Amino acid sequence: MKSLFRLLGFDTLRKEYAYGDDPVLGYTSIRRQAERWVRSTCGYCSVGCGMDLGVRGNQIVAVKGWDGHPVSHGKLCPKGLSEHHTLSAPDRAQHPMLRNKNGKLQRVSWPEALAALTARFRESQRRHGAHSMGVISTGQLLTEEFYALGKLIQLGFGTRNYCGNTTLCMASAVSGYKRSFGSDGPPGAYEDFRTADVTLLVGANIADNHPILCQHLDANAGGYLMVADPRVTKTAMMANLHLPLKPRSDIALLNGMAHVIIRNGLVNRDYVEKHTEGYARLRQFLLEKYPLERVAALTGLDPQTIAHAGRMFGHARRGMIAWTMGVNHSTQGAETVSAIANLSLLTGQVGHSGASPFSITGQCNAMGTREAGFTSSLPGYRKFEKKSDREELAALWRVSADRIPEARGLAYPDIIEAAVSGGIKSLWIIATNPIVSYPNQEQVKKAFRNLDFLVVQDGFHPTPTSEYADLVLPAAIWGEKEGTYTNSERRVGKANAAVKPPAEARSDFDIFFDVAATLGCKDELFPSWAGPEDAFNEWRRVSKGRLCDYSGMTYAALEAEGGLQWPYPEGTTGNAVSRLYSNGRFEFEDGKARLHTVENDPFPDGTDTRYPMILNTGRTVEHWHTRTKTSQVAILERMAPNAWLEMNPVDAKALALESHARVDIVSRRGAVRGVELRVTEITAPGQVFMPFHFFETNVNEVTHDAFDPISREPNYKQCAVRVEPAARR
Ligand SMILES: Nc1nc2c(c(=O)[nH]1)N[C@H]1C(S)=C(S)[C@@H](COP(=O)(O)OP(=O)(O)OC[C@H]3O[C@@H](n4cnc5c(=O)[nH]c(N)nc54)[C@H](O)[C@@H]3O)O[C@H]1N2
Ligand SMILES: Nc1nc2c(c(=O)[nH]1)N[C@H]1C(S)=C(S)[C@@H](COP(=O)(O)OP(=O)(O)OC[C@H]3O[C@@H](n4cnc5c(=O)[nH]c(N)nc54)[C@H](O)[C@@H]3O)O[C@H]1N2
Ligand code: SF4
Ligand SMILES: [Mo]
């Protein structure tokens, strides 16, 4: 496979930023010479790179890769290298702000802010019921913060309607793992990318979005890489075989590959018999319903290519499948994950080196909230519906078992819907920015306007979302607080406070602590905790014996080792690579994984003559989501200052549009206007692509708010649009 990593020029960037060299002046100014170095973990994506923060006074003046770190081996991508520039940005949130009688946000003291928060939430609950209060959090806090927040919301406030932006992101992977393996938890390790002889990436553009993962693929000299993506991404350019399938035909492709594996006698019969349930049904289903001709028609790939891909995977000694949002962002996300798990199970490619159905996560700590957060499951992947799990947790916390909810509350989109229809009256938003990131903006704006009380807790203000708030709480961010993040390979890494937050901003942990104190439940929920390490130590006890066992970890060991992978039970030593399900025992009662039959359905917002093109949305390497952080970094803004729309030359010609023309993108729900056109063969004819980072030209004005019925994840990756020359205004 070709190395695109070096082509992206990260090595150059590394030199430029690492030791405090001034990229403009070209030399190291005294102002930027570090007095001390603090070890930490990157706060952007889920790769979980290790970094050294160079500190001078109360400022991080340089960032460099942590040499010998088990994930990143001294490298960082452009965002990691420049992350410290976000801390001193002029629009960091500095003080609590409360909306006054004239409708203006006005500075208040912390005690006033906390009193307002608890009084208004309690009033909402008194008048409209306990569950009229909702909380939407994130994948970007520290695990200690998630753990504390879960207790505060579910036990302190007694509302179940607590979810996070992770439902816009990882929910399909979580649901898929639960359906196939009986529990959430990605089985593999990054090392598998180095050792697999065949790797299939599905809807994952790691060259842009998980750049430092690329070096693990680069190190896999003899490996064969297949990339399934409708676009010719930078990742597709690294591949031995690019599978440019039609949008949302992944289930057909995966079923077709499984069909080939069955037809060619490549099923690992012994593994399937011992460790899975449902083979006879799946076999019949695939042989009858997914012959190559049908798969070819559904995917747009030719039958020989599909047969080749199936045989390559079937013959692999070590076969890896990794996926990201091309899979999850779909009304069939959870089912697509099941189809991926089928392929791994049929070939016995689970739990050994180079073999894993691996969900690459997104945010720095999407995993932490899944493990400890009390949203999609009870802490420690305990099940809401399982009495013994509830009782065990209650005993650990010394509360009565009837205080542990028996079912999860509303998921994120259902909280928004309930706010529109009046069921949710007050909402607390923590570290997410829906007024950029939520699909079909009309709906979320309606929801916010309908609320009696909206709290926004963010490191920045104003943000598009904080503008709607009745109360803004200023939060410390990465670099200013201490705790742990879990990356995609279940590695728990330590993040450290190198500097103090600006003005009156406080860590989310301290805010939750103070809210609990104001509410009068601090001693019950956070008994004798003084800081994050006490929360971590309690979490170690609560996770003990569970799949995500932290009991053998300590802060000191995490810092010394560059993170440790769970499970890490008490008594474990060293930093060996760990995998789940190596013994073939899965988390169902009978220990067997489930094979599911899944049909490929068309996406919901289909094209017609008025809306003839399929719009795909996603990311670019320079920016992070809604740009509250990366727009503050000059070098990143210079590289990608505006949104753009990618369109194939065939369509551009038919529409008489030239590159750099301004266009409007119109869907059945809205329009986004004046976007720069890029004419490029990255996208196929009939398809267009736009990044979602830019509030100024927000693609989520047009995306579709259809959700996976199982995971509740939005269908961000396909909707019908038309593109026209920008209207003159
Ligand atoms: N630079 C940067 N890195 C990031 C982030 C960021 O904002 N910026 N965000 C982080 C987060 S939270 C996440 S979740 C990850 C996301 O990481 P990715 O999933 O890699 O990101 P996306 O660009 O959203 O989508 C990936 C690919 O899915 C493809 N796709 C679209 N439709 C289909 C389809 O029907 N089938 C298939 N097979 N593919 C399809 C798109 O063309 C796109 O190339 O990135 C993380 N890393
Ligand atoms: N069209 C389209 N839309 C998408 C996607 C897509 O591919 N296409 N991807 C979806 C996905 S996968 C995701 S994950 C979401 C992401 O969407 P968001 O979660 O809305 O994006 P972020 O910009 O990461 O928002 C994080 C917020 O938290 C703040 N923040 C950062 N650190 C801290 C902290 O430590 N404490 C506090 N309190 N605040 C902090 C930031 O300033 C920012 O406002 O977007 C989704 N939306
Ligand atoms: S790859 Fe991800 S974790 Fe690593 S430096 Fe870049 S943004 Fe940070
Ligand atoms: Mo995400």
Per-residue pLDDT reduced to its tens digit, 27-52: 556 677 999 999 999 999 999 999 99
| Band of residue 14 on the pLDDT scale cut at 50, 70, 90 | very low
Please choose from 209, 370, 631, 689 the residue to mutate so as to test ligand 1's pocket, defined by most ligand atoms within 8 A of CB: 209
Per-residue pLDDT reduced to its tens digit, 214-255: 999 999 999 999 999 999 999 999 999 999 999 999 999 999
Per-residue pLDDT reduced to its tens digit, 93-106: 999 999 999 999 99
Ligand nearest to the CA of 627: 2
The whole-number pLDDT of residue 5 equals 46
Q: For ligand 1, is residue 623 a contact (CB within 6 Å)?
A: yes
The alpha carbon of 209 and the centre of ligand 1 are apart by a number of angstroms equal to: 7
The alpha carbon of 500 and the centre of ligand 4 are apart by a number of angstroms equal to: 28
The predicted model gives 138-164 an average pLDDT of: 97
For ligand 1, atom 31, the nearest C-alpha belongs to 326
- Could you tell me where in the chain the CATH 2.40.40.20 domains are found? 613-725
The predicted model gives 175-183 an average pLDDT of: 97
How many CB atoms sit inside 10 A of residue 718's CB?
Answer: 26
Over the chain, what is the mean pLDDT?
95
Q: For ligand 1, is residue 248 a contact (CB within 6 Å)?
A: yes
Q: For ligand 1, is residue 218 a contact (CB within 6 Å)?
A: no
Q: CA-CA distance, 678 to 639, in Å (whole number)?
A: 15
- Cβ within 8 Å of residue 674, ≥6 positions away: 662, 663, 664, 697, 726
DSSP H helical segments within 403-440, as ranges?
Answer: 412-421, 434-437
The CATH homologous superfamily for domain 171-359 is Dimethylsulfoxide Reductase, domain 2 (3.40.228.10)
Full-prediction pTM beyond 0.75?
yes
Q: For ligand 3, is residue 211 a contact (CB within 6 Å)?
A: yes
| Contact present, 356 and 349 (Cβ < 8 Å) | yes
- Could you tell me where in the chain the CATH 2.20.25.90 domains are found? 2-86
Structure tokens at 456: 């926004």
Per-residue pLDDT reduced to its tens digit, 542-559: 999 999 999 999 999 999
The predicted model gives 132-145 an average pLDDT of: 98
Please choose from 40, 86, 138, 435 the residue to mutate so as to test ligand 2's pocket, defined by most ligand atoms within 8 A of CB: 138
- C-alpha distances (whole Å) from 165 to each of 415, 439, 576 are 12, 12, 32
- State which amino acid sits at residue 555: Y
Q: Which CATH architecture has domain 97-169+365-486+504-548?
A: 3-Layer(aba) Sandwich (3.40)
SS3 293: helix
Of 632, 631, 636, 642, whose CA–CA distance to 691 is shortest? Answer: 642
The whole-number pLDDT of residue 429 equals 98
| Contact present, 310 and 296 (Cβ < 8 Å) | no
Q: For ligand 1, is residue 715 a contact (CB within 6 Å)?
A: no
Q: For ligand 2, is residue 477 a contact (CB within 6 Å)?
A: yes
For ligand 2, atom 11, the nearest C-alpha belongs to 169
The whole-number pLDDT of residue 475 equals 98
| Band of residue 11 on the pLDDT scale cut at 50, 70, 90 | very low
Q: Which CATH architecture has domain 613-725?
A: Beta Barrel (2.40)
| Band of residue 376 on the pLDDT scale cut at 50, 70, 90 | confident
The whole-number pLDDT of residue 15 equals 43
Q: For ligand 1, is residue 228 a contact (CB within 6 Å)?
A: yes
| Contact present, 170 and 139 (Cβ < 8 Å) | yes
The predicted model gives 350-368 an average pLDDT of: 97
Q: CA-CA distance, 455 to 429, in Å (whole number)?
A: 6
CA 418 to mean position of chain CA atoms: 24
Four-point Cα dihedral 570, 575, 576, 582, nearest 10: 40
Backbone angles phi, psi at 304, to 5 degrees: -65, -40
The predicted model gives 443-457 an average pLDDT of: 98
CATH of domain 2-86: 2.20.25.90
Distance between terminal CA atoms of the chain?
A: 48
The alpha carbon of 46 and the centre of ligand 3 are apart by a number of angstroms equal to: 7
Q: CA-CA distance, 163 to 186, in Å (whole number)?
A: 20
For ligand 2, atom 32, the nearest C-alpha belongs to 477
The alpha carbon of 44 and the centre of ligand 3 are apart by a number of angstroms equal to: 6
Burial label, 214 (beta-carbon count in 10 A; 0-12, 13-18, 19+): buried
- Could you tell me where in the chain the CATH 3.40.50.740 domains are found? 97-169+365-486+504-548
**For residue 25, is pLDDT > 60?**
no
The whole-number pLDDT of residue 13 equals 47
The residues whose Cβ lies within 5 A of ligand 4, an ion, are: 169, 362
- C-alpha distances (whole Å) from 688 to each of 39, 134, 208, 674 are 42, 36, 18, 15
The residue count of the chain comes to 729
Of ligand 3's listed atoms, the one at least distance from the Cα of 75 is 5
**For residue 195, is pLDDT > 60?**
yes
Structure tokens at 316: 């692999």
- Could you tell me where in the chain the CATH 3.40.228.10 domains are found? 171-359
